[in-house]
Amino acid sequence: MIVISAYVFCYTGTETMTPQAYFMESSEETFRLDNKTDMTTVLSQARWAGLHPGMSVADVGCGPGKTSAALLEAVIPGGRVVGIDASTERLDFARGQYGSEGLQFYQGDALNNLDELGTFDFVWCRFFLEYHRESADKLYANLDRLVRPGGILCLIDLDYNCMTHFGLPPRLEATIHQIVGGVANETDFDPFAGRRIYTRMYDLGYTELDVQVSAHHLIFGPLAERDRFNWEQKLKAVARQTSFSFENYPGGYDEFAAEFRTFFEDPRRFTYTPMILCRGRKPSMK
């Protein structure tokens, strides 16, 4: 039997467990995720997908727990949420910031068997598939196992991740596309994870499928501090994680990053990323 506590987790492996595949890892990542998450959007998306009071919920790849806290609002009274993540740092933050009787956090790798958690009425997974391109088969299978027969699976991810801007100088546009391709080659990142969700869920036999497409990272006009910080962290992650040569920039990464900042600060630029949300019901007799 395992004990899932809002404040205590008994983990017997290394002290800090961070999957190699998560290339955004940094000392700022917990804050970046918490800072950029809009609870109102999460709540309305989850309610659209069928979340209602009394349900049990798994939030897979919950990060710092803000999404789990938003999901809890939709299931009280009577419901509960378990946030699952591999990162010690993010779960420590989640427990301190959002832990409560109805909201508990579990440390685990979603690519491993999570059967000890049992099954849930509603399984939610946002901005997580994008980090699991090669391992997607395993991940989808594990997500499916967490959904009880007759329960709901709700998956949200991005398409053309970080690639859709207008107003970019040509060399900057070409370089961004090359970098995204390079990151996808060198890591398990999938810039097109969003477009694959519907067909994956269809193939898993989910019924009552429905899809919403909206804009994430919708940025026009003056740059908000939250967006500046978020994209600075993305640039730093690229610099840390890839062996990209920046051949169009004699000054290398620094010159590229400076040109991106100039573009991004300009209120004339337009940036968005397509966000795809798909929900479906697992057949009762699967």
Ligand X SMILES: C[S@@+](CC[C@H](N)C(=O)[O-])C[C@H]1O[C@@H](n2cnc3c(N)ncnc32)[C@H](O)[C@@H]1O
CA separation for the pair 39, 199 (Å, rounded)? 27
User: Which residues are at the interface with ligand X (CB under 6 A)?
Assistant: 19, 21-22, 33, 37, 61-63, 67, 85-87, 90, 109-111, 126-128, 131
The minimum distance between CB 244 and ligand X, in angstroms, equals 21
Minimum CB distance to ligand X smaller for 85 or for 121: 85
Nearest to ligand X of 29, 121 (CB atom): 29
- CB of residue 271 to ligand X, shortest distance in Å: 18
CB of 119 to ligand X, least distance (A): 18
Q: Nearest distance from residue 60's CB to ligand X, in Å?
A: 7
Q: Using CB positions, name the residue nearest to ligand X.
A: 63
Which residue lies nearer to ligand X by CB, 88 or 178? Answer: 88
Cβ atoms within 10 Å, residue 214: 13
Classify each residue of 15-29 as buried b or exposed e, where b means 16 or more C-beta atoms within 10 Å of its C-beta.
Answer: eeebbebbbbbeeeb
What are the backbone dihedrals phi and psi of residue 220, each rounded to the nearest 5 degrees, phi first? -145, 160
154: phi then psi, degrees, rounded to nearest 5:
-130, 115
Nearer to ligand X, 56 or 233 (CB): 233
- Regarding beta strands 270-281 and 147-158, do their DSSP bridges make them parallel or antiparallel, or are they unpaired? antiparallel
- 75 near 52, Cβ under 8 Å? yes
